[in-house]
Amino acid sequence: MLNHRLSSELRNSISTPPRAGDGLNRRQFLRRAAVAAGTVVLPTIIPGSALGLDGAVLPSERIVLGGLGIGGRGSGVLNWMLPEKDVQFVAVCDPKRSQREAVKRRVDEKYGNADCKTYRDIREFLAERTDIDALLIATGDRWHATAATLAMRAGKDVYSEKPSSMTIAEGQAVVEAARRYGRVYQTGTQRLSEENFTVANELLRTGRLGKVNTVYAHIAPWDAAEMRHDWLPAEPEPSKDEMDWDLWLGPCPWRPYNSAYVRGGWRGFYDFHTSCIGEWGAHTFAQCQVAIGSPETPAVEYKYVQNETGDGMETKFANGVTMVLSRGDKWWHGSCGVRYEGTEGWVAIADGYKRPEVSSPTLLSDYSKLVKDYVARTQRAMSHVRNFFDCIKSRRQPVSNAEMMHGSMSTVHAANICMWLKRDMRYDPAKEEFTGDPEANRLRSRAMREPWIL
């Protein structure tokens, strides 16, 4: 209950104006002078959340979060982030007005205020919001690496949706920025923080499958590896405030405005996408590479397959394990599936499973213990966003850190290049180049439009 009674000091101040020679310190003098002048300061109602009461987190302990390009996928990730008590979302940047305003309404409703700020230009956003600790980046593929690199240079930790790079060169830039500026980086391969997929990986890691020579990775069952190099017909360009088309394109080549791009129709175009291989391979390659103990090192051999998608391509790692790209569902049911085959058994897992499918039920007899042991060994939460936030505080590396992202995405990019050039290839992970193939090496990067050159 508020105490509306004035302190004895304030009552005395009202009746006895202060004199400079009263021996008061500066703060006492100013307060008594203000009261004597008719300005009575009553106690302020301070919400418990500001004091860390009732389970709330003190403001000084909260992670201040912002967002870039929070659309369909980003909204899902934001659903995971907003309930975290030690996180406060304060601002969103997006070249599309309706999208940034939709995020603002949602955030303001969550916090019961009107404090969420909106920005159109990432440069203004990063320059002005020095208070922000971390960013959720959920733009289209074309912006992921550029935005992440700029954000880390500005001192922000980054959670970036996948595919987190468009080229091998972009992945190198992300790794370099994370290292140079000491930033925490997490890519959105969230299945590495889900129990089902973690148990499958642990079965392989702990040797329960015996010697594993072959793993299978799901690639998306739409589009092709060979992408379109044309562009859609021009439509009248909207105002910059409604949709800043130049900012939407970012580092990509200039293309005429077409509203279909903005509605998600950019997939399947070389300028904006990483093909059916990158669409799901960004997830499944990472899962397989972590499981086989090669999270940061891409495959060294790529066998071209004569189809449009890469279905059936064999990629081989330096440790001798072969990863087969699979477009269909004969090895699993559901999306983003993986399967690991060993001399003592196999395991398969995809979205929608309650538990992995295994060759023998005994492999899952201590399912809960496998999860518990993994958490104890790694000190990682079984929540991808929680792992990110915990690492912001501890400065440890999250499960899907920059090096892991770059290692698995390099496999994605090399597989794409193999399909585009229609020949077998060898890749040197140490040099980060194709062996004896100048044409392939030129495809490790793409031209970037000024001023977005990394």
User: What are the DSSP calls for 218-244, one per residue?
Assistant: E--SSS-SSPB-S-PPP-PPPPTTTB-
Residue type, 56: A
Residues 419, 143: Cα–Cα separation, whole Å: 24
pLDDT in tens, the chain (454 residues): 323 333 343 334 334 444 444 444 444 444 444 444 444 444 445 455 555 555 677 888 899 999 999 999 999 999 999 999 999 999 999 999 999 999 999 999 999 999 999 999 999 999 999 999 999 999 999 999 999 999 999 999 999 999 999 999 999 999 999 999 999 999 999 999 999 999 999 999 999 999 999 999 999 999 999 999 999 999 999 999 999 999 999 999 999 999 999 999 999 999 999 999 999 999 999 999 999 999 999 999 999 999 999 999 999 999 999 999 999 889 999 999 999 999 999 999 999 999 999 999 999 999 999 999 999 999 999 999 999 999 999 999 999 999 999 999 999 999 999 999 999 999 999 999 999 999 999 999 999 999 999 8
Written as six digits, the tokens of 346 are: 């196999």
Written as six digits, the tokens of 381 are: 């939460």
Phi, psi of 160 (to 5 degrees): -115, 130
pLDDT value of position 307: 97
Domains along the sequence of the chain with CATH: 1-45 (no CATH), 52-190 (3.40.50.720), 191-226+273-381+402-435 (3.30.360.10)
Strand, coil or helix: 312? coil
Strand, coil or helix: 252? coil
Cis peptide before 163 (omega within 30 of 0): yes
Which H or E run includes 188? none
DSSP classification of residue 384: H
pTM for the predicted model, two decimal places: 0.88
Residue type, 15: S
Question: How many other C-beta atoms lie within 10 A of the C-beta of residue 386?
Answer: 18
| Parallel, antiparallel or unpaired: strands 357-358 and 425-428 | unpaired
pLDDT value of position 57: 79
DSSP classification of residue 261: I
Which H or E run includes 291? helix 275-291
E strand intervals along 49-148: 63-68, 87-93, 117-119, 134-137
pLDDT value of position 60: 80
Q: Which of 65, 69, 155 is nearest to 110 (CA)?
A: 65
pLDDT value of position 49: 56
